[in-house]
Structure 1
């Protein structure tokens, strides 16, 4: 059986515009700032963390947050230029790190040149078909245009137009030729799966090993993957269940979500996470910070392709707010080097290293299934299996010790537990991974 690189992937997810401290809005007549190279100084940090790839947020020229694209074929001047991108890719690949880019192909920014040309040129303009425009009957201008979720600065593309498929195909291939290894498809849930089914085979014909993961929040995950031809989608169901179950001490919710997760694994391996650039940080979600490790244990022991959002590995806090600038707290700048990080975050980094180490020594976890062995509101034992392989995970959110059935196990691989006859004793708020 052929194995592709992403079956072993663990990603460090970085939002570059925030990471490098770029201006919130592209200045008029902006000069190129070579900030993208700042990331090169953090690649060894990523390697030591244990990840095998970088999942980068938007890096193409945009007006503000990166999701209002102006030019798909140039690097945002706030980040640098093509030479900076090439240097980052070369440095990453030298360290064995793959690069996955963020493709914003559902919409463009309202300053996108072809959109402005279409507005000026009228219904017959050669660029008008790229967008979903509604022209007044009297021929007056401007037309109404479809947007992404009501944001006037985000102009929806017309995915029924062959020209849009040609554009997206060319953008994807252009940056793969430049050294990228995969794509995250932003707002993939808003794009008809049939569109991806027309684009991805052309891309894969040239790049058969490309990894493509779609941002999907709700819907039939398995059907979307099957119909679209993507490799995976983002597992928001499990994300919500992890932080909610741990925070509320209601592990029944997690058990239910793991059952659903097993169902998805029959079709594909979802991208799993406990944090990303769009959500409140996991350390701020939990009622008890000491339970952060429990959330991480789940992330790194169940099937899927795990992603760690930059800063989460240091236990950073940050709350997303629904207001202008409400993402700033979860998209912070990072210092010049890892040596400049506060000492308080390194114990969380060490836990990530331990858990990622377990996963890398057991790559079969990518498609492993989960079976609950014991369950209560505040404690849980589950086994993860693939063929003859087996690990057992025990979690205790309670303020007193608990004994949990674990079957035959021989050692504690991570965490701490006292093993008995087919049982494991956890301390208050303890956890362990058993082999």
Structure 2
């Protein structure tokens, strides 16, 4: 679903009066904003528009830049832009690093064009100052430091001749003595700690990156727990949840995503045919499910996580409520004293028939009307209540909530806590959610690629079962389709390439996963070998790897209770090694590059690729095989003989190392005379081999 957008006052007063009007527009425009405090506005010609909002506290301006519709229909790559800066004693020069095709970029300044590939139009870069700030930016992208007297935000966007344009990037200029903390880093070129910059630029102005993710999440490993079925089922409470945190600590988990735990229509006792006790049908936003415990006991759980170095992410569900929420019950009951008030809190297909607007067949979770300032005011109070208690939000059905609301939530929570984290669920994923709305996105493209590969190898795979009995996956249709009749494992690389081709924000992170609470278990659907390879893909490709509770323990149903005491120990050991490998090798972390390499194999179920750390000091080759048995992959890389994942060595003798499928046996030896490749790797499921530098190779 495509995300929606609108014009809306921030921090609205439900009793206040608001009105939008177009104050300035391009010469040929006749566009107007619709009536109401939350308005729709559709520009009719390209150009810059100035809209004014009459509000109880005065008149506010908003600049809207409209671009022509591109002819490419999303087929051609979309521009991307990362805004850098060069500061002297007297001025700051903005330096846009703009990209038209994935992987090729040119840094320019001011109004200079950014050249794309041969035959592509050049890019122009436009600068805008936040409408709330008073600062001048010269057309060439320079700012006089003496003019920076208050905190100000600068935006830049790269534009192609056909209308394709990047998401905006931003820098925030903070003058000395404004009272902000000083833990920011100026001129950091990496995709690392984008959230803030440390030190001062010339003239005492600090440069911050408002769209960057908190440093703690960039190389984190996430664990999704199905809250009501993760603790011991004899007494599943917040207190018994604490008893199982040692499992997460030993596994190496950094972030715990808890599925909803508020008072709900879908709590304990919900049968599996209705999705089990998932909690996404909220009936009270300020009260935890009393069957799980008290608010104080939840806060004790968060404290226990923090003591183990684990951050906690709250599943924020504000697109809809349950149809048993008191607000909805009042909305449909004409005799209720608050009927008139709450009727306008929901969107309706047919109010007379009491048929609410709802997505798909989700009739029991009616959509809230975010066009009502009272709804926004209430939901912002929910955000304000929970944000100080946790470390981040994962937002359910984020695509159903207008972009303007998420921009306000982002600004609100990150202004209060620069380390707060926001993850959206938008399916299919939309890059529009990046750049000041969310730090990270569900990578549904990679998930779909893994599902497609699994379908291709599952026919006679050991351990494959019938599809589990669970709620309908409304997004089962893959958004990434293979070319031709025989999809191969290189689809995982195509999925990662899509992030840049679609114009994903350079600071955006991507949550990589094999399964979650809305999908069937990969182990059940495609077998053990495929699950091991898929798991390795999520940990060795760029992104934030996530484990869904039970993936590491051998669970075969979507939402079944955790199998404490009966875990698959070999599987658990495998995922512990993956976590350790990801954390210990910079070449596998977030800002390491991904490189397609030439390889040779006789099966479509195998793929190889390289990762290299930003300093170009360490490089690895990853080989994956999703099918049964083993595969041989030829590569032109001087790979070492030790598998970093298993620790196996002594491979130079040519002896084949045979292990069961839980570990992913590997063998590496010089290629035979008929091969055009220097080395051959034999892999059962996953192998990670360090590339030897020239001096190391000569010394052997």
Larger Rg: 2
Moved more, 201-210 or 417-426: 417-426
Moved more, 376-385 or 402-411: 402-411
Q: Closer, same or farther in 2 for the Cα pair 1:166/1:292, shift >3 Å?
A: same
- Match of 2:542, SS state, is coil
Q: Closer, same or farther in 2 for the Cα pair 1:82/1:252, shift >3 Å?
A: same
Inter-partner Cα distance in structure 2 for 1:229 and 1:350:
37
- The alignment of Structure 1 onto Structure 2 pairs a total of residues equal to 402
The equivalent position to 2:238 in structure 1, one of 33, 36, 50, is 36
1:413 aligns with 2:644: yes
Partner of 1:157: 368
Partner of 1:333: 561
Inter-partner Cα distance in structure 2 for 1:386 and 1:215:
29
Q: Give the deviation of 1:166 after TM superposition.
A: 2.2
Partner of 2:412: 202
Partner of 1:324: none
Q: Give the deviation of 1:308 after TM superposition.
A: 0.3
Q: Give the deviation of 1:391 after TM superposition.
A: 2.0
Contact 1:283–1:292 (CA<8 Å) still a contact in 2? yes
Inter-partner Cα distance in structure 2 for 1:312 and 1:34:
20
Partner of 1:327: none
TM-score (normalizing by structure 2): 0.54
Partner of 2:175: none
Moved more, 414-423 or 239-248: 414-423
The equivalent position to 1:236 in structure 2, one of 429, 439, 444, is 444
Partner of 2:230: 19
Q: Any unmatched runs of 5+ in structure 2?
A: 1-184, 186-192, 194-213, 267-277, 458-487, 647-665, 672-676, 691-700
Contact 2:332–2:339 (CA<8 Å) still a contact in 1? no
Q: Give the deviation of 1:200 after TM superposition.
A: 2.0
Partner of 1:369: 593
1:127 aligns with 2:358: no
Partner of 1:7: 218
Q: Closer, same or farther in 2 for the Cα pair 1:158/1:429, shift >3 Å?
A: same
Contact 1:300–1:355 (CA<8 Å) still a contact in 2? yes
Inter-partner Cα distance in structure 1 for 2:537 and 2:296:
39
The equivalent position to 2:293 in structure 1, one of 57, 60, 80, is 80
Q: Give the deviation of 1:45 after TM superposition.
A: 0.5
Inter-partner Cα distance in structure 2 for 1:34 and 1:285:
28
The equivalent position to 1:383 in structure 2, one of 610, 625, 630, is 610
Contact 1:122–1:128 (CA<8 Å) still a contact in 2? no
- Match of 1:243, SS state, is helix
Inter-partner Cα distance in structure 2 for 1:108 and 1:382:
44
Partner of 2:577: 354
Q: Closer, same or farther in 2 for the Cα pair 1:316/1:202, shift >3 Å?
A: same
Partner of 1:312: 551
Contact 1:382–1:393 (CA<8 Å) still a contact in 2? yes
Contact 1:89–1:99 (CA<8 Å) still a contact in 2? yes
Q: Closer, same or farther in 2 for the Cα pair 1:251/1:375, shift >3 Å?
A: farther
Q: Give the deviation of 1:218 after TM superposition.
A: 0.8
Q: Closer, same or farther in 2 for the Cα pair 1:401/1:115, shift >3 Å?
A: closer
Partner of 2:248: 46
Inter-partner Cα distance in structure 2 for 1:242 and 1:368:
22
Inter-partner Cα distance in structure 1 for 2:378 and 2:607:
49
Inter-partner Cα distance in structure 1 for 2:419 and 2:229:
29
Q: Give the deviation of 1:417 after TM superposition.
A: 3.0
Inter-partner Cα distance in structure 2 for 1:429 and 1:205:
48
Partner of 1:28: none
Partner of 2:381: 170
Q: Give the deviation of 1:379 after TM superposition.
A: 2.4
Inter-partner Cα distance in structure 2 for 1:18 and 1:254:
31
Contact 2:256–2:313 (CA<8 Å) still a contact in 1? yes
Q: Closer, same or farther in 2 for the Cα pair 1:375/1:231, shift >3 Å?
A: farther
Partner of 2:524: 284
Q: Closer, same or farther in 2 for the Cα pair 1:379/1:183, shift >3 Å?
A: same
Q: Give the deviation of 1:80 after TM superposition.
A: 1.5
Inter-partner Cα distance in structure 1 for 2:670 and 2:440:
40
Equivalences for residues 207-226 of structure 1 within 5 A: 207-219=417-429, 221-226=430-435
Inter-partner Cα distance in structure 2 for 1:275 and 1:265:
25
Q: Closer, same or farther in 2 for the Cα pair 1:207/1:242, shift >3 Å?
A: same
Partner of 2:316: 103
Inter-partner Cα distance in structure 1 for 2:630 and 2:583:
32
Inter-partner Cα distance in structure 2 for 1:209 and 1:382:
33
Q: Closer, same or farther in 2 for the Cα pair 1:242/1:261, shift >3 Å?
A: farther
Q: Give the deviation of 1:247 after TM superposition.
A: 4.5
Q: Closer, same or farther in 2 for the Cα pair 1:229/1:401, shift >3 Å?
A: closer
Contact 1:274–1:299 (CA<8 Å) still a contact in 2? yes
Partner of 2:331: 118
Contact 2:667–2:681 (CA<8 Å) still a contact in 1? yes
Partner of 1:271: 511
**Cα deviation code 1:168-227 (max 9, x no counterpart):** 22222212222x1011100112222222112221122212211110111215x222223x
TM-score (normalizing by structure 1): 0.84
Inter-partner Cα distance in structure 2 for 1:392 and 1:18:
38
Contact 1:381–1:393 (CA<8 Å) still a contact in 2? yes
Structure 1 or 2: more helix by fraction: 1
Q: Give the deviation of 1:5 after TM superposition.
A: 1.1
- Match of 1:154, SS state, is coil
Inter-partner Cα distance in structure 2 for 1:131 and 1:230:
25
Q: Closer, same or farther in 2 for the Cα pair 1:375/1:256, shift >3 Å?
A: farther
**Cα deviation code 1:311-368 (max 9, x no counterpart):** 00012212xxxxxxxxxxx111235xx4x224xx010111101111111113562233
Partner of 1:69: 282
1:434 aligns with 2:662: no
Partner of 1:392: 621
Inter-partner Cα distance in structure 2 for 1:412 and 1:184:
35
Moved more, 391-400 or 91-100: 391-400
**Cα deviation code 1:26-66 (max 9, x no counterpart):** xxxxxxx8712221111110011111111100111001131
